Every structure is written in C-alpha cells, then in structure tokens.
Structure 1
Amino acid sequence: MKRDIIFLRVQGHNMKEEFPSIAKITCPKVKGISPRERLFDLLDTSKDQPVTWVSGPAGSGKTTLVASYLIERKLPCIWYQVDERDEDLASFFYYIGFAAKKAYPHRRKPLPRLTSEYLSGIPTFTQRFFDHLYSWLSPPFFLIFDDYHRVALDSPLHEVLLNAIYNLPEGVKVILISRREPPSVFSRLYAHDQVKWIGWDEIRFTLEESRNLIVSRISTLRSKEGIERLHQIADGWVAGLILISDALRRGIDLQSFEKSSPQEIMNYFGNELFNKTKRELQIFLMRTASLPSMTTKMAHAVSGFPDSGNFLETLTRNNYFMVKHYHTEPVYQYHPLFRNFLITHAKDFFSRKKLTDLYHRAAMLLEESGLLEEAAQIYVDQKNWEGLILLTMKHAPFLIDQGRNQTLEKWLISIPQSLFEHHPWLLYWLGTCRFPYDLSSSQNYLKKAYATFRKEEDIEGTFLSWSGIVDGIAFSHNDLYRLDHWIRTLEDLMNEIKEFPSQEIGARVASSMVSAMALRWPHHPGFYKWAEKSLAITEPPQMVNIRAWLLFNLFLREFAMGEFEKGASIHNQLSPLTKSREVSPFIKMIGKLTDAIYYQVTGAHEKCIEAVSEGMELSRTTGIHILDQPFLVHALLSGINVNDLETAREFFNKLGSSLNLPPSSSDLLDLRNRYIYHFSSARYALVSENLGQFNHHMALAFKYGDEMGSPVFQGGDHLLNAVALHRFGKNKEAMEELEKGSLIAQATQSKLRLFNSL
C-alpha cells in the first residue's frame, strides 16, 4: 500500500504520454551488407539454447550481424536497445511494453506497468508481465536486447531478465548484444548449458570477409599483400576496415594507421572527414550530434539546414556510422564512437554560449517528441538546472503515475542543494518519490515542502504536502498520535481557505482526512461531514479507485464502531466497484478483504475462508503482498469464532511464517504486521488455554498497539486481556483491564467496545 495506493492515482489526468525513442524499440535497417553466412550458421545452431550472447568491441558489427540475420532468415522479433534508463525497473517495463505494442498494435489490452504496489514482489510481477507478453508471441520469435553492456553489474535488471528467460516458451529465443562478457549472474544459465556465446573470436572478420568488404569500397585495391596488410592492421575490426578503406580511397597512406587504437582510428577518420568535407556538413554533424537520435524534422530544427534529410541519407548510404530505424518515419542514430568524436569536436568549435543554446534547443526538441529522459540527461550534462527544474515540474505527476519514482528521484538529486532546498515543489516531489523506499526521509521532505508552501501561500502545494504527510503516518501505523496535529491543521486550513483548488486535490485531501480520523478520532463530530464531502468529490467514473478506497475506510470505521447496518450498506456499495474492470489489482484485493472482514464478523465462516483464499491468490498472481497479514488474521479469527480450531491453526502457522524475523526497519508495515500477529496469537493462545503463551503475546500486542496509537486497537487489547484474566481466575486484574477498555470505548463512542465492556 505505497504512496500512490493510499491516494490511489486519480485516472484521466492531462499529462502527455511519454514515448520511447523509436531507435530504442526498433530493429536497425541494414542495406548493402553482405550476409555473414559463417555467423548465420552459428546463430542457427544456437536455436537449441534459449539464450545467445553476442559480444565484441564497439564497431565490431554485432548489431548489424543480428539485425541482418533476422532480416535474412525472415524472423520476427521485438528489438530493445538497453540503456541507463532501464536501471529504473518501472521504466524498463514501461518501455518494453511500448516495444511489444509496436510489434503487436492490434493488442488492445496493454501489458501491466510496475507501479509501486508491486515493488514487494518484483519476481512475481516479472513472471506475470512476461507470461502476458509471451501469450502474444507466435514461435519462432526473438527478443533482442542490444547494448546490454550499459547495464551496471549490480543492476536488478539482470535478475528480471533471468526470470524472463527461465519462463521462455518453446520457440522463443533471447539474444543479448554487449561489448562485455556475460556477467556472473548469468552463470546459472551456463551451468545448465542454456547459453550460446558468440564472442570476439567469432565476430571479427576473417581474411576472406575483409577482402570482400575492402573490394566493395576500394575497387582499385586488388593486391593480395595490400588487402592482407589492411586486414592485419584492423585485426578483423569492421569499423576499422571501413574507416581505413575510405581513408585509402582519399589518398592517405596505409602506414598512417600502423599500431593505432580503435578510438585513434575513429578520431583520425573524423578529422579527415572534417578536413575534406564542406563547412556546412561539418556544422550539421556537430549540431545534430547533440541529439541521441533524430528524425529529419528534428535534425532540421537543431541544425538549421533545410537539406538535413539529404545529409542524413548520404551518411547512411555511405555507411558513415549512421544507423537508420524506420517506424512511421525514418529515425537516425550516430554510432557511439562517431558521436563521441563529434561532441568532443563541437566543444572546441563552438563558443560556450552557442554550445549552451544548441543543447538547450536539443533538449526542448526531445521533450516535445516525448523523449523525457534524453532531455533530462542533456540538462544534467550541461548543468542547465533551470531547464531540468522546468522539465521535472512539468512531468513529475506523469512519472509518479507510472511508478517511475527512481527516474524522477535521479533527476531531483542531480539538482544542486542550494537550488533544491528553497524550491518547495522539488522538496514535495522528492518526498513523494521516496515514499515506497524511505518513509522517514519522505516525511522530512514533505514537512519542509509544507512549511515553505504555507509561507509562500501556495494553496495547491499546501494541500498536497499535507496529504502526503498524513498518508505516510497512516500507512506506517507508527505513532498515529502525530495525526492529531495534522487533523487540527487541516481544520484550521479549511476555516481559512474554504474550498479546494481542484477536484483531484480535494479527493486526495478528503481521502487522507477520512483515513486519519478513522484511525485516531473515529468519534469526531465532523467525521461524516468529511465522509460525505469525499464521496461527493469522487463520484466521477475516473475516480473509481479512490472512491473504492474511501468506502473501504468507511467500512472499517463503521464495523470498529459497531455500526453494523451502516457497514453492511457500505459493503454493498463497495462490492460492485471492486469487481469493475476499471479498478487496479490492489482495489480488487481490497474488495476481497472487505468480504473477508464482513463474513468473519457476521459468522459466515465458509464465505470468509473463500474470500481469503481468493484474496491470497490475487496476492500470489500480482505480487502485491501488503494485504497478506490482514487476510490471514481474519481467516484465523473466523476459525476461532466458530470453534474450527484446525482451520485457525492452519492460518496461525501461515501468519507466523509471514512475519519478518528479526524486525525489519525497511518494511514500512512491520509494526502493523507485528501487532496483528501478536494480537491474533493471544486470541489463539486463549482458546488453547495456554496462559504462558497468552501473556507473552498479549504483552507484545500492548507494546505494538501503544506504539501505533490507534484507540480502537488499544481498547480491544484491554478487553481481550480482561476476558483472559477472568478465564484464568484473576478477577481483580480482569476488572482493572475492563475499566481501561471501557474508558477507551466511552471516549471513542464505539458501540462495539461499549457492548464488549458490559
């Protein structure tokens, strides 16, 4: 139940969809390339293994080899160019979902996205995602992951792909293209002979292959000695063969390249190209190198040359390290070695001001094309903090909505602290980003943002940061006493401001207030006023998730207060909502939990167990495990209620195995789960007449209940203890506990607790 679950992403916002670069999700077009049958045969034989690893240095022809193989053999594929953005797994799944949609545009239902409710079950989500994807594919089919060397050695992406590979259906193969050897995490695949490795020794051109390439580029070079010497200098490196061949054609002596490294050869070629081409082409190359990939329109906009299309086609046709992709229009991409040369040269060629203007224009073009992360990287590289802040402010809601918290956090922490600390929206978004990972840090940033928003009289920011703070406290169930201050704060705010600045903000704030009051002040005279306000705001269909969440909180409050008729009415309203196709998986699980609670309290034991089983199955298939403990405890309590101790024992054991041992500070729900476990263990010990176990678990239930600070739970603890003390013959102590429970029941005005106190 992460941050976006608590305020339940309001659907239908107006943010523009971000689209990955076509170069990232499209197989490169290769023309004029002689088929490398020797390597094609190796790739053919690798079909007996699910994974093929193709590795070699930059410019060795790895990508061209795989692309030409797929074209020659007429094999369908999803092509995915890996880069640093994929360190954020939510971004990886988001982009590869686009790649799949591009390959199968007729599929109407999109692949699932890794939003934060799934973060506790990445392996389960991965299996679900790829099972869904594999159901689209018709063998033979290939999944290509190009530039895999750009994945850090400690990246969680390796485990994601391993899980995907373990579940590959028959006839679906994976090819990974990299400049490096396979990382050690892939050793499990090697141990079971699941990988075919085509390395540099196989990739490098043979003498015969070099001869064919050289003759195709220099028709006058026929001497065996000259060809062998050129092959020896390039050492089978295809980029070197192309560059040196072109240099020879221009009249440069072959001796100039003796003992040159690949980068030196590239730099030599670059300088020669610059020296032998017109000035306008030089400028075009350096300006367009500011873009990681480009359409003709983008090249024209950033370079200023109307003839950009002809320039790009000439570079592609002559194999001057320009890769062409095609979707609805051509997309061009310089080879990394060549682009690095051009960027370095541009730094010496252009003035600082012109270079700054160039990169700012490039970033804006990328943003307009939906390439947000490419734009952000330019702003970071150029230290254009104003541009990065504007980009962040504009697109932060969209990234949070997609669960790509880590991508947004990366942008935010790039901004210098001197700028960051005084910008409340940046503080707010960092607090929001960190909610699923570091609740303490999240609270600190949200509180700083709130204080600054109030000082600057920013109403939207004030309400949103208030909601974030309250949601964090309510979510953790840790020191709920803090909610008292924030409930009063909102009451003061509403006396001052009167109405919300927008319906969405109103829905979030009202939802947070209802949750806070239900936990701390369920008897507050203004509770129903807030409940009615929140339900009125969330009537539109696009707010079905947040409306369901509100109804769930109202249901819990009514049952805790003993208002069973109202609770049953809310259950009837909530049930059809949670069965809707429009709600999130989490809300579907909330529906099952509501059923389980309702049937547990009303004594419908079999229906309760059925609801719990269905809810736990949803937990298993979605990887969302944050409701496991509530499901298990209601099954356990239902078994106790009807004296089905065998069922109670089964779920008691499951509940115990679900607990972190020892306590985990990284688990935001650890305190809630410990309270649930020890309270239910005390109940189980009581029916088992085990005084020692009861005292042990009851003492811990008191401890964790007091740390949480929910009066409803605290009252229930005293009343359960009173029953136990009476049963074990300690009537005086039982009366003292009964009095404590009765005082809390009177303070909260809970009909249920008042009845229990009689």
Structure 2
Amino acid sequence: MSADAETPGRVAPAVLQPLVAAKTSRPRTIRGGVARQRLHDLLDAALGKPVTLICAGAGWGKTTGVSGWAQERGLPVAWLSVDRHDNDPQVFWSYLLAALRVAGAVPAGNPLADLVAVPADPRERGRLFAAGLARLPAGTVLVVDDLQEIDDADVLGELTDLLRHPPAPLRLLLIGRAEPPLRLHRLRAAGQLAEIRAEHLAFAPDEAAEIVGRHGLALSAEEMATLVDRTEGWATGLQLAATFLAGHDGTRTITDFTGDVRGVDDYLTEEVLADRTRRQRRFLLQTSICENVCAGLADAITQRTDGQRILEELEHDNDFVVRLGAKPLWFRYHQLLRDVLGHRLRLESPAVVPDLHRRAARWHAANNSVLEALAHAVSARDWAYVGRLVTTQAAPLMVSAHRPALVRILRGVPAERLTATPELMICAALLLFHAGDYDGIPARLYAARELLRDRPAGTREPVEIMSRTLQLSADRAAGDMPALLAGANRLVDLLGSARTVPVPAIAQHRAIALNNRGVALLWLDRTGEAERELWAGSYAARVAGVELAEINATGHLALLKVMSGSVREAATLAGGAVELAESRGWRYALQTVAAYFALALVRLERHDLDGAGQALREGLRGHHSDPEAAQWLVAVGVQARLAAARGDVAAARKFFDDARRDRHPRIRVPALDRWLARTEAAVDQAAGADPGGSEPLPLARAAFAKGDLRRAQSLLAEVTTAERDTVGRIESGILAALLADARGQPVHAADLLADAVTLAAGEDIRRPFLIPADPRLDALLQRARLLTPLVADFVGTLRPVRGEQPVESLSERETEVLRYLATMLTAAEIAADLGVSVNTVKAHMRSVYRKLGASRRTEAVTLARDSGLL
C-alpha cells in the first residue's frame, strides 16, 4: 500500500478514489419512483434555514426522498454518506471536503480549493473550514447521510462548533436514524433548524397507491386506507406489503399482512432489534403486550424501575417507538414492530406471556383504565379476575360510549366459564342485556345469588349491586313500574352504604338507578317527582360518563314535557338527546327511542306530519331491535295519532286493538294508559263515534258537536280544573270560544280564542286548531287575527279562512278607537278622553274604516259587531 493510502488526512489519494466516489455520490432514485411533491415542498421550505434534520428509523425513505428531491430540482448538491470508519476527525473532514469538491462547490481562491491534506491540529482545521465554508457560493447544499454512524466525540464536537455559527452560504441537511448529539437545541430555539420526521416521511394513500400500482395491484380506496394505516405510511413496509400481496395471485388480503410475515420480521429484526442492548430487547419483548405503554405500566410488567429511561432511549433512537403527546409520558410501538415483538415473545418465552398480561391487568385496574385491565385479564385467561373487574368497575360501561368495547371483551370469555362464579354469571347477564334478552336475565341473577350464599358478607356487595341493577332492566322491559320503582329505591339505598365498590362505579350505578326511578315515576303518574328524578339522573349520568343513561333520561324528560303540553321545551330536550346519540353512533339504541318518540309527538303538535313520520320510523327501528313494554305503548299512541292526523281513522283504531291484544301481562303504567285513553277518545270522535272513557274534554267536544251546549259547558267546567297541560288548555280554550260564540257572545268568544292562540303561538302548537270541523272557528280565528296583532302571523299559518281575504290587524290604539265608535261621542270628545289630538283620532278612524272595509262610522260599527270585534 502506498504512503498516501496510509495517510488519512490526505485528500482523496489515488488508491481511495473509488471509495471517495461511492461516498460522495448522490444515491440515484429508481426510474419511475414515486413523485413525492409534499415531501419536496417541505425540503424546499427547509432551505430557508441553515440546518435541516431529517430523522427517522430504518426504511422510512429518508435517503431516497432527499435524493429524489435533489434530482427533480436539478440542484448542485454535495453528498456525503458516512459510516463507522469515518469516526476520525481528519477522515471525516477529508471526505466532507471531497464531497464539496465533487459537487463543484469549492471555487478557485477558496481556502479549501488547493488543500492537499486536512490539518491534524483541531484548531487549525477548525479555522480553515470555517473560513472556507463561509466563502462557498450562496445556497450550497451539503447532505450528510447516515449520521447515526458517527459517535466519535471529537468529530461530533467539531461539527457542533461549526453549527454554533452556521456558515451563511451553506445549507446543511443531516440525515440519520436517531437524534444526533450535536446540541441542536440552540438552533431550534433560534428558529434556525428545520426538522423532518417520520410523520412527514410517511406515505399518504395516494403516494402509497403508486408503490402498490408498480406491483400490478389495484386496491380500492378503503383497502389503501387500511394498508396505510397498518404500515403507518412506512416506505419499506409498503414495499414489503405490495410484494407480499402480489406474490400469490390475489389469494392474500391486507389483513394477512402482519409483522410476523417473513419479510417484515427479517427486516425489523435485523434493522431495529439487532442493535438493541440485551436489556432493551427484553424490555421491548415484554412490553409489546400493550398497545400503549408508560413508565409505570412498563415497570409493573418488567418488575424493574428503569422503564422511563428505556422508553426515552428507544424513542430518541427512532426505532419505531413513538411518543404520544408533547411530554414523554405515554409511548406506542409501530404496529408491525409490535407484531414482530409479539411473535418473538411467543417463540422465546411462551410461559411468561400470561403472567405479563396479569401484571398489566392489575396496573390498569389500579389506575382506573378498566377496559384495558379487562382486555389483559382475558388475554391472561384469568377468568375469575375478569368477573371481579366487571362487577366492581366495568359493568356500568354497558350504558356508556364504551359498550361495544366491553361487549367484545366479554365475548372473549369461553361460554363454559360464564357459570363458574357469581361474578362471571353477572358477565353472562350483561351479554343477555346487550342482546335484549331481558327474559333470560332473572334466571342468571338467581343462580348468581345462590352461589353467593357461602360467601362472606363483605365479598357479596359488588354482585348484589350488579344483580339489582340488572334486575331493573328486566322489570323495565316488562313494564312493571311498581317493581321498577321499588328496585331502584333498594339499589339507591344499597349504593349509599356500599364499601367495597370503587367510587366511580358507585356514581355510575347511581345514575342508572335515578334514571330508572324517574321512568317508573313518570308512568306511575307522579309527574312532579318524575321530573326531579329524571333531571337528577341525566346530570348524574353525564358526570359519571354513562351517556346512554343520560340520553334515556333526557328522552323521557322530553316525553314528560310533550305529554304535558310543553312542546318547545320537549323539542329542545329531544333534539339534544338525539344529537348526542347520533354523535356516538347510537342512533338506533334502545335508550334513544324515547327521544325519537318525543320528537314525533312534538312534530304532530306542530302539524309537521312528514317530520313526525320520520322521527317515528327512527324510534321504531331502535324499539324493534330492543323492545320495551312501556315504549311499545308509546309507539302505539304515536302511530295512532299520526294515522288519525292523516285521515286514516281505521288504521288508528287498529293500533289500539293490537295494543289490547298484545299487552304484556306484567305491565303497570297508569299514566301511559290515561294518555292512550285520551288519544283513543280523540280518534273515536274523529270517526264520528262517541268517545269512550271518562275524559271530560273529548266528551265535551262530542256534546258540542251534537248541539248539547248545556252538557258541553258542564263537561268543559270539569276540564278547566282537571287539565293542567298546555295542549289541554289550548283545546279547552278553543271549545270555550266556540261555545261562547254559539251562545251569542262574540266578544267573549274572540277573547277566549285570542288567549288560546297566544298560548299556542308561544309553543308553536297547531294541531288543536285543525281538529274542530266547525266553520265558526274560521271566523273566530279571523277575529283573533284582528284583535291579537302580536300573533297575527301565527294565526295566518293555521287553517285557511274561508271566503275572506286576509285582513290587516288593528293596532292597540285602533282597537280603542273602534270601541268609542259605538258610542255617541264625537271625535273631539274621544280625543279628550284618550288624551290625544283630534287629528290623531281622525287618522285612527280612517285606518279602522280601511281595514274593516267600511266607508263610514255606522258601517264600521256594524261590521265590527258582525265579526265579534264589538
């Protein structure tokens, strides 16, 4: 070997020329490679800063991405690929200088141009390169690739010194798998560092489609999204996936592509795991049982105390370990790496896997992440612990956003194990609850209580609480409201003295109990108490995070309100419950049915028949999938009302006949029965038959229709004391106005109807004005429109006024002047009495004549009397 070859400080001696060429040549991208405009734009923007760090693990496309960008832009880029043999300052700086020269970036006259050998003295070398780099052409780009190979303290120190004051003409791009120890924090704080990480290098679906397409594969948009999600956009992973899928004539699917596929396993084992220390590798294997991991969880699993340090080391090295959030608290492993680790763990230490899951389960349970605890307990096949977790912590999640996840976990328990302990029998009952098999629940609960007999009193409490909670669902499904109320009361008392159930679970059970107590009180016709309990249940459910219970309580509040005539408030409550349900994907859950039925009743009162039909269909869909006896009767009433409103009285009658025939034998719902009786009476009357039952309002309407004004008046008097709801008051007011008009009291009739219209306008209620078939109502509505200017627009939306053009409303002052016109007072005297000028009175008189269609005073008085205005 020549002397030159043995002198590392000399620049590119002849024997080293091939190596120099290899190390200073920009890697060529494959022809037809993926055009990554998004990445290229990021690199363009990065040139605005002196230093750019491109940092990601193996196979993320760092080198090819930067090379493709340089090739596309046609930039003169100096490129240096370093390796472990470059951990010597003279060697490193020699190759760096060679890279600049190969790129033609060192012009004549530059201190570096005629350099034969890099100085051995660090200070002289530093001064020489600082001066030379400062005189490079503006915008010179230098890429240093595989920087993670440099670990020599002297090389890193001199590079750090250079970066303290980056040469103005130079744009330095550092590519590596790990964060380099170069004290880049100063550049970062000064805004002089651009950073491109794995999330920027990850392939988007459209970019990944090009990779897949080169293998002759045509995947749907959904399949591409799944593939990108599985690989997390990892370039090498996409290449391996495309090769895997193309290799078997379409017989393989994306779900078959996992980390334990040979190509992925080999790559990640060699490129990621091979360089890990023995402790790090063991740590990765053991903690791979978790989707996400933190220091406390890692320490519990590994039974050591170095979890935080190792997690931060792994994340720092970019070996497919991702920090979740800005702070180093939680981490996760790339999905494919986790597959590889799990496969290796099962091969190397299968016996410890259940133990690892047990440790993870207990850590999660202690930290109130109960679903994760359950999942690990199932993986450990620790069935007794699964049962204990469910009864003490997890069961109330069945009425929360976590219901699907809880059901999936419970279905992982073998069926034969569900009879082993009282707690596991509760799990079986929960699965019956989810399936809507309420008739099967009591038998499970009885068997669970039988197994409890030999237990110490202190260990029975969780099962007893769950047993009572589940019994509520069986009583409610049957419509047995006295039993439901008694059970809810017992549960509330038991919760008040509970000592062995965690506080969050107590709060969840209490919210469920309050909701059920409110429903029972509602249908037992104890409306005031029901409203208080339902409000309390809704709030408690929201605080406890059991949102299905919140939706159900709010839906029943809406039913209470609309059945009490508070239509506007009912619309707000029902709309809020439906919006929450739909946002959680529970559009057709049983707990949402009440809100949909309330919304249908609201729209019926507003005579929006299409909207009512749509809400009814949504509610029926949820009801049919999970029937409940009381809800079924509500559905009967809503369907009958809608059919009657559409003029199909026969269909409406059939709903009531079916309800009597198919009524659940245990159902006890007096308030609901009374509401249905009123609905049926209204349908009977619409059919021209005498209304059944003893409700005074339908009977009064029937008597009026037959001309029996005395009986109608007597029955109406009963209504005014018996009815308290808004709709009932409106209907009573309409009938009272018709009676007054029939008795020759037009002014009183107009006043009564005006009161009813004002009340209806406040709630946007229209249906009651469409029931009477008496033409007198048209004239009364016309008078109300004149006498009640504030609700004139609302009156105009009601039934059309036959034979008359719409009349402009009289103002309050014009109404006063009209009343004076029937007297013998002159305009001057009227003006004096009202305290206004004569001209003002005359102007009001002219306006009254115009609106009434009169030409003189006597004609205006006559028209006003005929229309009931006087």
Which TM bucket (shorter chain)? Answer: 0.3 to 0.5
TM-score between the two structures when normalised by the length of structure 1: 0.46
Q: Which has the larger radius of gyration?
A: 2
Q: TM-score if structure 2 supplies the norm length?
A: 0.41
